[in-house]
């Protein structure tokens, strides 16, 4: 296969544009896949359970043999032998299942889907996407109708951006940095590719990229550098297969599903390297939002809670009272306005090539919903950052990093989940809490739900 791909890429130097190079590379990889990889259909009916092994098969066979002997002879001795073999088989199978389930549980740490697949197989009631209600009130069941219904809804939540640049961030940083990707860096990223992940719309499997890293690293490096230099992103990198993930409520309502984007694995490699440079820049200039604990290295739900409880308990210990509001912003990832996001990136003094590449990457994006292998018609993505992409989370964090401006209370963030706290046993405390909530609403964030608690006096 390596020889096949190398031969296909022999004319690489004669290629000019980013799109032309990408089409050429993709064709070479897909051609190699078709010529060198044999497709095998799995027979799911004959699939053995995960705990079934050669040892289990042997002991089950011994039990069946003992039973057949007893049926033939009807002797007490053969009956006792069968009982012993039956007990041995039952105990051995129980132990085998326990060991298998222990291994399955450990696979969660590796990001393997085996555990969740096993749990779903054990469900007595299979829950999935069966019926949806359209906006006209009709019910649809066919896969094509389901996908079109979902994509129509997902596209309807995109926000129309108002004119204007929006607030600026980090204007005190003056220097910029420029760089280019190295072949060693690309090889390192290829070695980290997780082969158990799904491929994107381009049909290139992550395992193929990892296996051919020595052959494709050089052309990929050239492609990435030209893409960054020109700001051009191939069309395949701007197309997403959207998988609907059920959240809560009625399964017949499109609004109760979250769109998760499966994008090009090759495109994600470049996103990863760009993300590393952006994070490095934010750390160097101390531009990271200290209130944000989501999608941030070294931070987690635990650090969020520690920060929150430390602030609250100090007030409670002095006899005070605290009002706490728990907020979730509706469709937060899907409604990020692109122009305002780009303006914020520019104000951080990021390299202009990076900002332009992100602008092009977000422009004219397309998505299609996939259900049971059936695709919807493509829809235009006019706002938001793709959920499931590498750059999406950090771009979202940058966009909401000025959320605390004008807020007087304590703010704790984990992605779009927000806690805001104010001391209310002092004059003006309750009014300050109300003002903070009003300010959050005026920043264009749609509050989906609010839980209010008071602790202390």
Mean pLDDT, range 239-260, rounded to an integer: 93
pLDDT at 342: 95
The confidence band for 173, taking pLDDT boundaries of 50, 70 and 90, is: very low
Whether residue 163 is predicted with pLDDT greater than 50 in this model: the reply is yes
Q: How many residues are listed for the chain in this entry?
A: 457
pLDDT at position 162 is 67
Q: What is the pLDDT of residue 90?
A: 94
- Which two three-digit tokens encode residue 16? 């000019």
Q: What is the DSSP letter of 426?
A: S
pLDDT-derived band at 360, boundaries 50, 70, 90: very high
Instruction: Compute CA 395 distance to the chain's CA centroid, rounded to the nearest angstrom.
Output: 14
Run of H or E including 455: strand 447-456
What count of other Cβ atoms lies within 10 Å of the Cβ of residue 317?
Answer: 9
Confidence at residue 46, expressed as pLDDT on a 0 to 100 scale: 59
Question: Helix count (H) and strand count (E) of the chain?
Answer: 15, 11
Average pLDDT over residues 37-55: 74
Q: Is the pLDDT of residue 125 over 50?
A: yes
Mean pLDDT taken over the chain: 89
* C-alpha distances out from residue 251 to 147, 151, 184, 211, 276, Å: 14, 15, 47, 40, 38
pLDDT tens digit sequence for 388-443: 899 999 999 999 998 888 899 999 999 888 999 999 999 999 999 999 988 888 77
**Rounded distance, CA 375 to CA 239, Å?**
13
Residues 68-98 pLDDT 10s: 999 999 999 999 999 999 999 999 999 999 9
Do the beta carbons of residue 413 and residue 398 sit within 8 Å? Answer: no
Phi and psi at residue 124, to the nearest 5°: -75, -35
Contact call for residues 408 and 422 (beta carbons, < 8 A): yes
Interacting residues of 279 by C-beta distance below 8 A, sequence separation 6+: 297, 394
Answer yes or no: is pLDDT of 171 > 60: no
pLDDT of residue 208: 94
CA separation for the pair 262, 118 (Å, rounded): 23
* Residue in 234, 416, 422 with CA at minimum distance from that of residue 334: 416
Query: 321 CB contacts (<8 Å, ≥6 apart)?
Result: 315, 423, 424, 425, 454, 455, 456, 457
What the block records as the tokens of 54 is 């050669």
Question: What pLDDT is attached to residue 41?
Answer: 66
- Kindly report the pTM of this predicted structure: 0.81
DSSP letters for 166-183 = -----TT----------H
Please report, rounded to a whole number, the percentage of residues in the chain having pLDDT higher than 70. 92
Task: Determine the pLDDT at residue 36.
Answer: 80
Distances (CA, A) of 16 to 22, 147, 181, 333: 10, 37, 18, 35
User: How does residue 452 score in pLDDT terms, banded at 50, 70 and 90?
Assistant: confident
Integer-rounded Cα Rg, in Å, for the chain is 28
Cβ pair 358, 398 in contact under 8 A: no
Owner of token pair 């197989």? 121
Structure tokens at 378: 């493509």
Residue 285 vs residue 161, higher pLDDT: 285
H helices of 10-53, in order, are: 18-36
What does the pLDDT look like over 313-354, one tens digit per residue? 999 999 999 999 999 888 889 999 999 999 999 999 899 999
- pLDDT > 80? residue 220: yes
């Amino acid at each position: 296969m390596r020889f096949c791909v190398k031969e296909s890429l022999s004319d690489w130097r004669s290629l000019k544009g980013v799109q032309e190079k990408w089409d050429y590379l993709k064709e070479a990889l897909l051609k190699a896949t078709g010529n060198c990889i044999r497709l095998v259909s799995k027979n799911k009916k004959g699939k053995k359970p995960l705990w079934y092994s050669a040892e289990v098969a042997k002991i089950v066979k011994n039990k069946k043999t003992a039973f057949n002997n007893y049926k033939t002879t009807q002797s007490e001795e053969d009956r006792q032998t069968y009982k012993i073999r039956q007990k041995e088989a039952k105990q051995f199978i129980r132990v085998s299942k326990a060991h298998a389930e222990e291994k399955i549980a450990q696979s969660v740490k590796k990001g393997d889907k085996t555990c969740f697949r096993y749990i779903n197989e054990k469900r007595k009631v299979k829950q999935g996407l069966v019926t949806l209600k359209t906006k006209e009130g009709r019910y649809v069941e066919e896969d094509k109708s389901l996908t079109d219904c979902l994509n129509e809804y997902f596209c309807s939540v995109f926000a129309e951006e108002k004119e204007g640049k929006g607030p600026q961030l980090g204007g005190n940083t003056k220097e910029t940095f420029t760089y280019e990707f190295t072949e060693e860096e690309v090889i390192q990223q290829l070695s980290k590719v997780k082969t158990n992940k799904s491929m994107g719309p381009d049909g290139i499997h992550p395992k193929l990229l990892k296996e051919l890293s020595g052959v494709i690293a050089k052309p990929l490096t050239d492609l990435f550098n030209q893409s960054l230099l020109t700001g051009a992103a191939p069309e395949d990198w701007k197309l997403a297969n959207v998988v609907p993930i059920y959240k809560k409520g009625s399964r017949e309502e499109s609004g109760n599903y979250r769109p998760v984007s499966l994008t090009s694995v090759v495109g994600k490699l470049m996103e990863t390297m760009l993300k590393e440079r952006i994070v490095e820049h934010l750390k160097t200039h101390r531009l990271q939002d200290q209130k944000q604990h989501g999608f941030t290295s070294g931070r987690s739900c635990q650090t969020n809670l520690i920060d929150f409880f430390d602030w609250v308990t100090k007030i409670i210990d002095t006899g005070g009272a605290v009002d706490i509001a728990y907020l979730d912003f509706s469709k937060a990832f899907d409604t990020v306005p692109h122009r305002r996001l780009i303006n914020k990136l520019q104000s951080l003094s990021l390299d202009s090539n990076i900002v332009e590449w992100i602008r092009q990457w977000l422009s004219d994006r397309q998505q299609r919903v996939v259900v049971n292998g059936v695709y919807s018609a493509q829809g235009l993505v006019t706002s938001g950052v793709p959920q499931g992409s590498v750059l999406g989370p950090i771009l979202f964090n940058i966009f909401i990093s000025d959320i605390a401006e004008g807020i007087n209370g304590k703010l704790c963030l984990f992605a779009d989940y927000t806690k805001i706290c104010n001391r209310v046993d002092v004059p003006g405390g309750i009014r300050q809490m109300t003002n903070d909530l009003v300010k959050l609403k005026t920043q264009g964030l749609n509050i989906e739900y609010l839980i209010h608690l008071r602790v202390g006096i």
